[in-house]
Amino acid sequence: MDTYIPTPILKQIGNYGGSLTVPTEVWFENLDPHMESSDGYAAWGPGIAYSRLMKFKTEKNMSLPSLATECDLCSEWKMTSPNEFLFQIREDISWNSSDGQEFHRVTAKDIEYSLQRQGHENSPNSHIIHMIHEIEAISDDELRIQLVWPDSDFFAALANGKTKIVPEYTINLSQTNLTSYEPVTSGAWSLSNYDPMGVVRMSSRSGIEEPPYLDSIQFNFVPDSDARLAGYRVNLLDLINLSTTNTNSKNLQARLQNPVPGSGLEIAFNTTHPPLDSKDTRRRIMASIDPSSIINEAWNGEGFFSFGFPWATPAWSPNPELWQQYFLDPAVSTSKIEDQNLSLTITVGDFNSRYKTSVELISEQITKSGLNPTINYVNRRTYANLWQTGDFEVLAGPTFPQSTPNGYLLPVLHSNGQWNTTKHKDAVLDSLLEKQATEYDIATRTEIIQIINNHLLEHAYRFMPITNIERWTWPDRVINFYPNFSSSEYSHWGQVWQEP
């Protein structure tokens, strides 16, 4: 039986007070946390007022990305079997409304109701907790959760910023027009102002054990990158993602480089389409590609190599000494095969100039190895359709976003996966994928993931020569800001303060 009991945290003493104004690039349409699926709502807006059963750790010197979790509404948990868990619920967390009115404490019944509500088929966030079979509030203080099957992403699903806990008496899902209702929440923030045109102001909740250091935080919807940069330069905004601004931001020094596995440029081969049904041919194409030149020339050096799935820890990174052996290898790329003038069609999504430049570089590199590629640009809708159907020879572009590893590993890489659009059949890989999917020990799971990385290199089904690194910066007056943006995490907003 595994048991988790959190270590008491001694918070750093800071200067209370002040306010931050930060931009968000995505807005939302609903104030109901189980009916709104945007990151803008969950972690950059009203959603930060809600508690969760678990949350992702965020602290100084943390290596990112990280899906390491800790209790939020629970005080401890234990695993009674690989598919059943008992959670002890804290007794010191109460509900409150935006007008400051206090309500009863959060109970296990509230959490049971919330998870059942989120799991309803009408909720756009139901897929996050798909592994949950049954939830039972044994008492006000104890919650039992039974899974459909053991799932190593279970805690990441509970900590997801969209898995929010609401009071048991919340309005039914059938009433989805909730943009005017008054939220009742249990987190460290209260909604003090909401302008549907693009402004949300959150105030620190007083009278709780660990209130935020700030008095308030304001989220402004600023979809234009030039406007975000201008607002930051004149001190109207206190945070900016340099990776989504224009070239005028190059002289700003990044304080955080955040790897984002699962985002970037993916290359996928249709393994049923001759001559790509040959592993040797796929390996030959890989050996002609230079990921480093793509990263440097098309993505301003902001990227790294990966296989498209989210990481629980940086230890899941493919070993550079190993993966580099499979690329830019003339001995393999110019090796003899039956068709020396092999024609290939590379279908690429017309998203932005970085994708276009990347594929042009890849085409040049493949051509030098004696192959004959043709680039076929398609619009975003067509690309998304081809990605799901597998109707391509070689596909280049973004993969679909996922917040947990198994959300990609099983549906995309498993032979029987719903989105196995490379159409490979690989019993060895399937066994590895199934084994890691039920392994709760992170060290053991990491060992399996590294074997999977090596297997994917050897068989060349799909890979990401360029994976995004987000570059963030903020002014010197913003203190103690150590964000973890994984899966819409937002607890870092409560730890930061601003010097006068």
**Structural domain span for residue 193:** 2-244+474-498
The answer to whether residues 430 and 492 belong to one domain is: no
pLDDT digits (tens, 9 = 90+) for 423-481: 999 999 999 999 999 999 999 999 999 999 999 999 999 999 999 999 999 999 999 99
Q: Judge if 377 and 479 occupy the same domain.
A: no
Q: Is the pLDDT of residue 176 over 50?
A: no
Cα distance between residue 405 and residue 440, in whole Å: 13
Q: Is residue 250 part of a domain?
A: no
Domain count within the chain = 2
Q: Is residue 219 part of a domain?
A: yes
Query: Are 42 and 13 in the same domain?
Result: yes
Residue 178 lies in a domain: yes
| Cross-strand bridge partners of residue 486 | none
Closest CA to 73 of 3, 165, 152: 165
* CATH code: domain of residue 72: 3.40.190.10
The pair of structure tokens assigned to 455 is: 């297997």
Same domain, 332 and 362: yes
251, part of any domain: no
Question: What is the per-residue pLDDT for 9?
Answer: 38
Residue 83 maps to a domain: yes
Q: Residue written as tokens 């509030």?
A: 137
pLDDT (tens digit per residue) in 26-47: 999 888 999 999 999 999 999 9
What is the CB neighbour count within 10 angstroms for residue 499?
12
Return the percentage of the chain with pLDDT > 90, whole number.
77
Confidence category of residue 247, pLDDT binned at 50, 70, 90: low
Distance of CA 46 to the CA centre of its chain: 19
Q: How confident is the model at residue 14 (pLDDT cuts 50, 70, 90)?
A: very low
Residues 139, 47 share a domain: yes
177 with 80, same domain: the answer is: yes
Do 266 and 201 lie in a common domain? Answer: no
Q: Kindly report which listed range (90-99, 141-150, 326-335) carries the lowest average pLDDT score.
A: 326-335
> Phi/psi of residue 467, each to 5°?
-120, 140
d(CA 215, CA 496): 11
Kindly state whether residues 457 and 482 are assigned to the same domain: no
DSSP string, 81-134: ETTEEEEEEPSS-EEEETT--EEEEP-HHHHHHHHHHHTSTT-TTGGGGTTEEE
Smallest Cα–Cα separation from 48: which of 437, 491, 467, 376? 491
Q: Is residue 96 over pLDDT 90?
A: no
pLDDT of 248 = 65
> Do 358 and 271 share a structural domain?
yes
Residues 387 and 352 in one domain: yes
Same domain, 217 and 287: no
What's the average model confidence in pLDDT over 154-171? 92
Strand, helix or coil at 276? coil
pLDDT single digits (tens) 208-228: 888 999 999 999 999 999 999
Sign of CA dihedral 198, 254, 19, 231: negative
Shared domain for 224 and 331, answered yes or no, is no
Residue 8 has pLDDT above 70, yes or no: no
The CATH number given to whatever domain includes residue 414 is 3.10.105.10
Q: What is the pLDDT of residue 351?
A: 85
Q: Answer whether residue 490 is part of any domain.
A: yes
Residue 253 domain-assigned?
no
pLDDT at 369 over 90: no
The pLDDT of residue 30: 87
Q: Is the pLDDT of residue 11 over 50?
A: no
Cβ contact 150:133 at 8 Å: no
Work out the pLDDT band at 352, boundaries 50, 70, 90: confident
Tens of pLDDT, residues 294-342: 999 999 888 999 999 999 999 999 999 999 999 987 666 556 555 556 7
Q: Which of 40-49, 71-80, 91-100, 134-143 comes out lowest in average pLDDT? A: 91-100
Across the chain, mean pLDDT equals: 90
Q: Is residue 48 part of a domain?
A: yes
